[in-house]
Structure 1
Amino acid sequence: MRASSADSSGGPPILHFGKLESPLTTYYLLLGVTTTLVVFGLIMVFSASSVESLLAKEASYTVFAKQLLFAVIGAVVATWATRWPVRWWRRIAWSALIGAVALQAAVFVPGLGVAKGGNLNWLAIGPVQVQPSEFAKLALVLTGGAIFANKGSLVGHWLHAVLPFVLPISAVVLALVLAGQDLGTGLVMGLIVTGVLFVAGAPKRLFIVGSLAVVAGIAYLVATSSNRMSRISNWLDPACQSDPDSWCGQSVHGMYALADGGWWGVGLGGSKEKWKWLSEAHNDFIFAIIGEELGLPGTLLVLVLFGLLAWACYRLVTRTQDRFVRVASAGVMVWLIGQATINIGSVIGLLPVVGVPLPLVSAGGSSLVTTLLALGMMLSFARNEPGCRALLDARPSVIKRTLSVLPSRLPSRPARLRSR
């Protein structure tokens, strides 16, 4: 590590960490963390869902097989996305928004919309069910980046910050999601809008007014829903939070799982809570199963991986000179890290249970494919960092390296055989 002189803005000296300053660092960090989380998630989905599948008289790998299929689809989509130039992402922003709004509105069409857990947020397309709100998250990111890419100092004015993005676009998307009673997804979308506006340079008074409006909106949504009201009151009730047979049973059993895991866990596959005690063990509460089976090292691994993912996204935000890339990268960072924080906070009891999956880890096809598509976009941004594309294109392929080394390692034939 070495310190350079102060930067051109007169700030403190910039610390350089050797190879961490390589143009390839962000690209490989995103790729490595994403791959690790997906593989780790597949392992834990298989462990957490196997018992439930057997009790349902299905093969133990039923849920795992579906998640593996979606992981393969997501990997293909992400690989395709990494090859897209930045200008293409800007071009599809409005098309993505229109498509996302149309799909989200379609959940209210009888025969198409499917309700799960009290939320009308699913769309039945033949034998496949998709969650349009997951695609709407990416559409918000792309649209925010496209709108603010060329605003410059105009973003500091209310008309340029509020009218183009907050009122007609974000409000419509959020209204459709909240109309389906999905408050958890609405909170994540609110974080995306906040992150996009903050990095774009929106005026500070907008966040003050916006925060008051959001608090008032959440209070109204909670007060007008007996289900949400009971969730909040029970979350604040110590007696409920200690009774495994009460309304708070899911949270209590999640804490039991973490407590049973202790320091080193009970071993992969050894969870007791997944035997019908803890609902949504392979989905919203998979973090509890990780803590029970893998102990503190398993939970810390998840936290470290999401921390590295946040750092990789932050590198893109701070290093790029393209405003679209900066705003869109910030949107994805707030989306994934915010959603992970809400999920983990719900499991450990710091937040009420709102029902959002742990990105890349929880079971769920729409979430996994969309998240991998968003991270594929981030990889395409990283490829366009100064010097990154040139270094990636200059790498010899695995086949070329193998062919270049193989002949030198093969024993030469005797002279008499060569003469024949």
Structure 2
Amino acid sequence: MIPGLALRSGTASSRGPAARSRTRQPSAPRPPRGSGARRLYERVRRAWDRPLTAYYVILGSSLLITVLGLVMVFSASMITALTYDLPASYFFRKQFLAAAIGTGLLLFASRMPSRLHRALAYPLLVGAVFLMVLVQIPGIGQSVKGNQNWLSIGGPFQLQPSEFGKLALILWGADLLARKQDKRLLNQWKHMLVPLVPVAFMLLGLIMLGGDMGTSIILTAILFGLLWLAGAPTRLFAGVLGIAAFVGFMFIKTSKNRMARLECIGANDLGPAGECWQAVHGIYALASGGWFGSGLGAGMEKWGQLPEAHTDFIFAITGEELGLAGTLSVLALFAALGYAGIRVAGRTEDPFVRYAAGGVTTWIMAQAMVNIGAVLGLLPIAGVPLPLFSYGGSALLPSMFAIGLLIAFAREDPAAKAALAVRRPGVRWKTMRRRVKKRPSGER
């Protein structure tokens, strides 16, 4: 045997089965494919389940919608303002003033306790009805584009009382249903309907006297939302829905203008007399935007082609100038706002908070769907603005106050209160000391 060979073979033998077993130890199990996505999902789910998530989502999404709306109002209204020999920023300045006042209302409403919200219900309802009656008095009410639903409040400023009627119905209806639930009366259909449905129909009648079909649709959606939250049985719900549908059909059937709007659903032709002009040019604006739009301020449809570019059809201008990315961003913000509102309504134990939060969420989401559906050609043009986004101070002020209600309700959740208290400097230690003092000593 060659010594060197023996030495090498001995070295090899020393690395025999035992050594090889040490080198071939089973490695740690690899995470299954997709575990990164699963961890990300769990992290997002835990973040979404935190007590303050609804509070931050409502506040953030509503402010982003309002700010983006201000930008688009300025872009969409410049040409219209110049057409009337006004400064290019005329409509933007009015909207900015309304947004500033609305922000104050939002902060005020977000700091009010629920008992003060309930105290506002009856005065707000009486005030809204009084103003809506004034609108119908000749010489006081003003007609704008065929609808008599405006009041002049001095100078270039006008007020649309029906917008405040939506907020009044929500607060008053929520307080009414909450008191009846406390007395266990909602299991009787007469207590569920009376006086909620008659008062709602009174508001609808005052609105329809002015010819505002769009606001009537939103008010009807709010009424149905309150009845659904109150647990209305299917027969009762279907009956009220059937009556509302019949009345709405009669109003549409007896108006050539409303019938023309109904016939323009999904239209791709202007029509023999141009009756589908607005609907078709709204589709043109969306189609020409592409993925990322033509650029802010570079849209062409606002140059006299698309009527109401800064009000009812501002979503079309958003699609033209910001593209699909811009419109999807707006939809995502509204979806987040709606989901957070549903979460606030679903997690509370206070019946007033549940009805009011559900009513506000129904209002914002229904109006957004009606507006966007009309721009997309899926619904008839109802003449309602996109909440928090379109031009119009009368629509913006009550909407921002309603958002303040949602923020206040999100803050009143017990878990959210505890989380906010912990984040305040010095509160945690004071709370602990208070708990220690209240702890029983055990002496008898």
TM-score (norm: length of structure 1): 0.87
Q: Is the 8 A contact 1:81 1:373 kept in 2?
A: yes
Partner of 1:160: 191
Q: Of 151, 154, 157, which residue of structure 1 is paired with 2:180?
A: 151
Deviation, structure 1 residue 151: 2.3
* Residues 1:202 and 2:232 are matched in the alignment: yes
Question: Per-residue displacement from partner, 1:277-296 (whole Å, max 9, x unpaired)?
Answer: 10100000000000000110
Partner of 1:185: 215
Query: Gapped runs of 5+ residues in structure 2?
Result: 1-42, 426-444
Partner of 2:202: 172
Partner of 1:3: none
Partner of 2:123: 95
Q: Of 371, 379, 387, which residue of structure 2 is paired with 1:343?
A: 371
Partner of 1:132: 161
Q: Is the 8 A contact 1:148 1:200 kept in 2?
A: yes
Q: Is the 8 A contact 1:188 1:339 kept in 2?
A: yes
Question: Per-residue displacement from partner, 1:226-248 (whole Å, max 9, x unpaired)?
Answer: 22123223447x57x35597111
Q: Is the 8 A contact 2:290 2:320 kept in 1?
A: yes
SS at match of 1:275: coil
**Amino acid aligned to 1:108:** Q
Question: Per-residue displacement from partner, 1:307-362 (whole Å, max 9, x unpaired)?
Answer: 00011101111100000000111111110000000000101100111100000010
Q: Of 80, 83, 90, which residue of structure 1 is paired with 2:108?
A: 80
* Residues 1:215 and 2:278 are matched in the alignment: no
Within 5 Å, which residues of 2 pair with 1:196-345? 196-235=226-265, 238=267, 241-243=269-271, 246-345=274-373
In 1, the alpha carbon distance for the partners of 2:190 and 2:273 equals 52
SS at match of 1:121: strand
Residues 220-229 or 331-340, more deviating: 220-229
Deviation, structure 1 residue 262: 1.4
Task: List structure 1 segments (4+ residues) > 4 angstroms apart after TM superposition.
Answer: 242-245
In 1, the alpha carbon distance for the partners of 2:226 and 2:158 equals 29
Q: 1:16 to 1:257 in 2, by over 3 A?
A: closer
Residues 312-321 or 197-206, more deviating: 197-206
Deviation, structure 1 residue 45: 0.4
Partner of 2:12: none
Deviation, structure 1 residue 193: 0.3
In 2, the alpha carbon distance for the partners of 1:49 and 1:396 equals 43
Q: Is the 8 A contact 2:264 2:279 kept in 1?
A: no
Partner of 1:391: 419
**Amino acid aligned to 1:144:** G
Q: Is the 8 A contact 1:244 1:253 kept in 2?
A: no
Deviation, structure 1 residue 394: 4.5
In 2, the alpha carbon distance for the partners of 1:35 and 1:244 equals 43
**Amino acid aligned to 2:405:** M
Within 5 Å, which residues of 2 pair with 1:32-43? 32-43=60-71
In 1, the alpha carbon distance for the partners of 2:422 and 2:307 equals 50
In 2, the alpha carbon distance for the partners of 1:365 and 1:313 equals 23
* Residues 1:353 and 2:384 are matched in the alignment: no
Partner of 1:8: none
Question: Per-residue displacement from partner, 1:201-225 (whole Å, max 9, x unpaired)?
Answer: 1222111111211121011101222
Residues 124-133 or 286-295, more deviating: 124-133
Give the alignment's Cα RMSD to 1 decimal.
Answer: 1.9
**Amino acid aligned to 1:177:** I
Q: Is the 8 A contact 1:112 1:125 kept in 2?
A: no
Partner of 2:391: 363
TM-score (norm: length of structure 2): 0.83
**Amino acid aligned to 1:222:** I
**Amino acid aligned to 1:204:** T
Q: Is the 8 A contact 2:261 2:381 kept in 1?
A: yes
Deviation, structure 1 residue 396: 4.7
Q: Of 142, 158, 178, which residue of structure 2 is paired with 1:114?
A: 142
Deviation, structure 1 residue 144: 1.1
Q: Is the 8 A contact 1:192 1:331 kept in 2?
A: yes
Q: Is the 8 A contact 1:244 1:252 kept in 2?
A: no
Question: Per-residue displacement from partner, 1:139-169 (whole Å, max 9, x unpaired)?
Answer: 01001110111323522321111112012x1
In 1, the alpha carbon distance for the partners of 2:140 and 2:280 equals 35
